[in-house]
Structure 1
Amino acid sequence: MTLLVLYLGSVADWALTLHAPGDDGDGDGDGDDEGKGEIKHGAEFRKIQERVEQADADAGIVYADPVRGGRVRPDGVQLRWAVASAKRKNPSSSAAAAAALGAGGDKDGWVPLEPGQLPFWCLDETPRRLRVPYEEDADQIRHPTGVVGVAEVEVAVGGESGSKEEGKEREALGAVYDAVFGKQAAGKGDAWEVRTLAGEGRHPPGRVVLAAAQEGGSNGTGAADIKITFYTDDEDWVGKTIGGKVDDEHTLEFKLVAATSK
């Protein structure tokens, strides 16, 4: 699980990836040095796309096909990946298609979901250790708070709290989470366990929680409120909250819990 850029007191987005034992991202598809051919993990990701598409046809939520990207590091090393985000089908009409284009969608009426409601996917085609070199130098990932991983991502569904629309949206998103993670909801709202590539032995798996819209949140706009809890291995920080007011309208806070091994 990866958290991305923070802006205006919000988490811009968060991502999942696919990984197999002994897999360092060297590319087991048919791609070449120019990033052409079959995308790494492409066949596996297509199965996820199919499960999501079948999860709730009425919701019209799917994952788009992966789009290749990349960059060159300052030391000249080429990084390549492919990303795929969730999108939703607007009612079939020319007006809806035009509205979709205005909302960042396409001519067929597909519009992207608000960032954070569902994770996007980042599939490494070059070794992941080149993009995320945490194993090469432990000092570069050591945080003063002792944070070692993500404990929980709570997504509060957009819409007015308790409304029919909020209930339908939560059901639709829940069906997608079930398709991605498997049906394992239990406890606080609807929750799904998420394992990380580097967290084994350092802390328990993280989890994603789909919660009801909160009174006084940023909802009513269709956006999701996201709360983040981190694992820390520093006892002095356990139980504390870091962050604060970003501007007159936004607050950014992270909770810290103990990273006890499972």
Structure 2
Amino acid sequence: MAGTTSADGTLISYDRTGTGPALILVLGAFNDRGAGAALAERLSSDFTVYNYDRRGRGRSGDAPGSGVDQEIDDLSALLAEAGGNALVFGYSSGAVLALRAAARGLPITRLAVYDPPFLVNGSTPAYWTALADRIDALVADDRRGDAVELYQTRGVGMPEEVVVQLRGAPFRPALEAMAHTLAYDARALASPADLPATVSIPTLVLHGVDGPPVLSGATQAVAQALPNGEYLGLVGQTHDLVPEVLGPVLCDFYGGALTAGQRGRLT
């Protein structure tokens, strides 16, 4: 484990594995770097992979008033740590954060995003901002469990009965520990509608075709709006990260081209 210091002095911890071009993983809500460990291992034969804890999670620090700007600063610090520029892979809300960083002009050379929940189900930036404010209020009242369940239902779209069943899950304390960071995710998703059109670097939008249907339209809309974007639907995949499937696709994309067989799976 290593670390770098963000612009506001916050320590951002990461694991660095492998050799080759630098590749940074930006994970989503409820994720620390443990969620990306298997994918990092799969990619480490081709890349130097930086798998980090976003601020407020795992072993990374945090600071009052953190939000999108500070998280983009964190990624900027990692890019400097990686040599000044890097490939980036973003997952779920981390995918939208990565898009926002690319739009800000961070030195990302090629970007792949998996299931970016961009303005899903008719939601608006105002919807996500209001959700973030409600999460902040619940955390301030020490109602972290309620904040977790609010994001699960209003952010992720999980059915109420499933949320209730998960209250006793062994990983529930870990979710509550990072409950305050859910406001960071919600504010990342409060992105302007023209965000994809402002990202000019080569970008691959991946979608797990057998995952939540609401993400199908969102991912295709992002790909269509990107000036230099491609869309790849992964048949048989859900919203979960499966290294055996993602590894070959990412290697080919970051190398400059998808194979004819992979393009045949475009939907």
With structure 2 as the length reference, what TM-score do the two structures score?
Answer: 0.31
Name the structure where helix makes up a greater proportion of residues: 2
Whichever of the two has the greater Rg, that structure is: 1
With structure 1 as the length reference, what TM-score do the two structures score?
Answer: 0.31
Name the structure where strand makes up a greater proportion of residues: 1
